[in-house]
A and B are shown apart, each in its own frame.
Chain A
Amino acid sequence: MNKKLRLLAYPYSVWMGIFIVIPLFLILVYSVTTGDIHDASSLKLSGESYKKVLEPIYLNIIKDSFVLAAASTLICLLLGYPAAMIISNTNIKYRGLVLVFFIVPIWMNFLLRTYAWMSLLSPNGFLNRFLMWLGLPKLELMPGQGAVLVGMVYNFLPFMVLPIYTVLSKIDKNVLEAASDLGGNKIVTFFRVVLPLSVPGVVSGITMVFMPAVSTFIISGLLGGSKTPLIGDLIEQQFISSRNWHFGSALSIILMVMILISMAIMSRIDQNNAQEGRKV
């Protein structure tokens, strides 16, 4: 029986080999070579692409990407945690409906959502027309980093809310009752019981927001007027318009390594938390 079950895994292993392992390997090869990408014999080992990544202009772009991604993750957490709590405390009858409201925007195309923000935030957009109607001065939001941040938070917020909600809704209500029996008020209960128990959800929420946020493209083009190019835009440019696959691959590898490092840090936090929980 066990053997038969193992057979079932083969299709996926083949799939993984062809569509994940081989492409990753190719990216790695392109990143450490130069030459014509269509002619394998012309490829020569070279560290040129990585040397180029270290030029200040590209380091700055990578830094900007991380700062913006970190900021949008933090905002998502601050907005998402209370939202997840509210949903998990909602009467079970309406909970499904509230969840649907959170998920519906994801059903719409990502590009369309971002264009919608363009017409909201642009100098003559809905927001500014509303402010003018109230007799207030116009805001210069778009294009700018603020608008890019808004676009990112809006697009990635559901990925923060859902994992936190899942963890919160699984917390045993008896634990909360025990806390209040032992004299803990709501604030103490939250910080000493609910928050530590929800860390796994927070960690996966942060990962799920940070990863797409750091590699995002288009958002900074549309809402930022391309004036804050991010690493995702840079990679797209290398493959589409400048067709420098070697440099594009090197950038992709750097991005992947950085995401791996940040994920490792996050899972360390998760583990530490689990151990501390046991000690208490």
Chain B
Amino acid sequence: MRKTLSCILILILVVGMAVSLSGCGQKVVINVYNWGEFMDETLIDEFEKQTGIGVNYKTYETNETLLAKLEAGGSSYDVVFPSDYAVSEMIKRDMLLPLDYSNIPNIKYIDERLRGQEYDPENKYSVPYFWGTVGILYNKDLVTDPVESWDILWNDKYKGQILMKKDVRDSIGVALIRLGYSVNTTNDAELEQAKQLLIQQSPLVNGYYGDEIRDLIANGDAALGVTYSGDFMDLYWEGIDNVGYAIPKEGSNIWYDCMVIPKSAKHKKEAEMFINFMLDPDVGFRNSEEVGYTSPNTEVIKRMQEEYPEVFELPAYWPDEEALSKGEVYVDLGDYKAKYNDILTEVLAQ
């Protein structure tokens, strides 16, 4: 009995190994790790059919999760999608491979204005994937004043109706912009002023939330709040029309979600082929239609202008030149991160 059992087990082992080995020889599989709901996944099948390269697609929820996962090691990802400040941190910590643009000819479609940002000045490591802004989302039934300035978040009239982003960079960033400082400041005096401004705002704030802000405002549970342009676009495509989105005149943060290749990648060339595929005008257009955020691809934008001219009236989709010129990107704060976090804790604990 025991003998037969061990024979069977060995057989299973051998067959299993043979199958997995033969699988390895035939096909390269790349690991792609992206934000949740941030890609038209039918495109993945198309890429697999076109190139014969397999794609193992997984998703995450925050830049911090991505960084923690890459930091922990033990896994190899070929293409990941960090935001600007995460890209800059990964560059600083030598976690990325430089891109070989001879494998990514479609880079020519990327809007010149959106290249060479502070987080990766020569785009040596990253290609923008989608971009957007931070602004004020408001419920049109509850906000009667024009939303033009960050000052409205300090207006007593909306006491208990204001939502702030429970994000270190976004909440402190709003205060810094209102004071006229850089969102990447490492000046203690400037940060102290920003902290005081947020503490002063605290009694007016209904709550500090993350992704919940979108639905709380759409449902009328709160009147206005700080959030990303993408949240407004989600509501817009769903056909919810009682909300508005404004980029305040003082300027705001412009964010980029990028495609990069981590150092642990095993198939760099195939990863570059994948990036090139995502930049293809046709693919980019379909992806843009599905995800709904603003593409950095000029050809995609042309097609969008033909198909959906109305979205180019929306500051959430198409910020005007002024907003673009006044916008600032986040870069990594290094050790100063802890200081920003302590400020947020102090504001929350008021």
| B221→A221 contact, CB < 8 A | no
User: A-facing mask of B330-344, CB < 8 A → 1, else 0?
Assistant: 000000011011101
Q: Which of A125, A226, A234, A247 has the most CB of B within 10 A?
A: A226
Complex alpha-carbon distance, A222 and B215, angstroms = 13
| B68→A143 contact, CB < 8 A | no
Complex alpha-carbon distance, A227 and B208, angstroms = 7
Given A222-B212, A240-B64, A227-B348 contact (CB < 8 Å): yes
Given A124-B220, A143-B206, A221-B349 contact (CB < 8 Å): no
Given A229-B348, A237-B341, A224-B64 contact (CB < 8 Å): no
A61 within 8 A of B: yes
Report which of A57, A227, A240 forms a contact with B68, defined as CB distance below 8 A: A240
| A244→B212 contact, CB < 8 A | no
Chain A contacts for B166, CB-based, 8 A = 221, 226
Which interface class (under 10, 10 to 19, 20 to 34, 35 or more) fits A? 20 to 34
Report B145-187 residues with CB < 8 Å from chain A CB: 160, 163, 166, 168
Chain A contacts for B337, CB-based, 8 A = 241-243
| A224→B345 contact, CB < 8 A | no
A122 within 8 A of B: yes
Given A240-B68, A241-B64, A242-B338, A225-B345 contact (CB < 8 Å): no
| A118→B208 contact, CB < 8 A | no
User: A-facing mask of B193-216, CB < 8 A → 1, else 0?
Assistant: 000000000100111111010001
Report which of B160, B206, B341 forms a contact with A241, defined as CB distance below 8 A: B341
Given A226-B166, A242-B337, A125-B221 contact (CB < 8 Å): yes
Complex alpha-carbon distance, A160 and B166, angstroms = 33
User: B-facing mask of A30-46, CB < 8 A → 1, else 0?
Assistant: 00000000100000000
Report which of B62, B208, B338, B344 forms a contact with A225, defined as CB distance below 8 A: B208
| A224→B338 contact, CB < 8 A | no
Report which of A38, A123, A237 forms a contact with B345, defined as CB distance below 8 A: A237
A60 within 8 A of B: yes
Q: How far is the CB of B191 from chain A (nearest CB, A)?
A: 14
User: A-facing mask of B220-261, CB < 8 A → 1, else 0?
Assistant: 111000000000000000000000000000000000000000
Chain B contacts for A118, CB-based, 8 A = 212
Q: How far is the CB of B15 from chain A (nearest CB, A)?
A: 28
| B212→A234 contact, CB < 8 A | no
Complex alpha-carbon distance, A234 and B342, angstroms = 10
- List 15 A–B pairs whose Cβ atoms lie within 8 Å, in order of A's numbering: A122-B216, A123-B222, A140-B160, A221-B209, A222-B209, A225-B206, A225-B207, A226-B209, A227-B202, A227-B348, A234-B345, A237-B341, A241-B341, A242-B337, A242-B340
Using a CB–CB cutoff of 8 Å, the interface residues on chain A facing chain B are 38, 57, 60-61, 118, 122-125, 140, 143, 221-222, 224-227, 229, 234, 237-238, 240-244, 247
Q: Other CB < 8 Å A-B pairs besides A60-B349, A124-B220, A125-B221, 7 of them? A: A124-B219, A221-B209, A226-B166, A226-B207, A227-B202, A237-B344, A240-B68
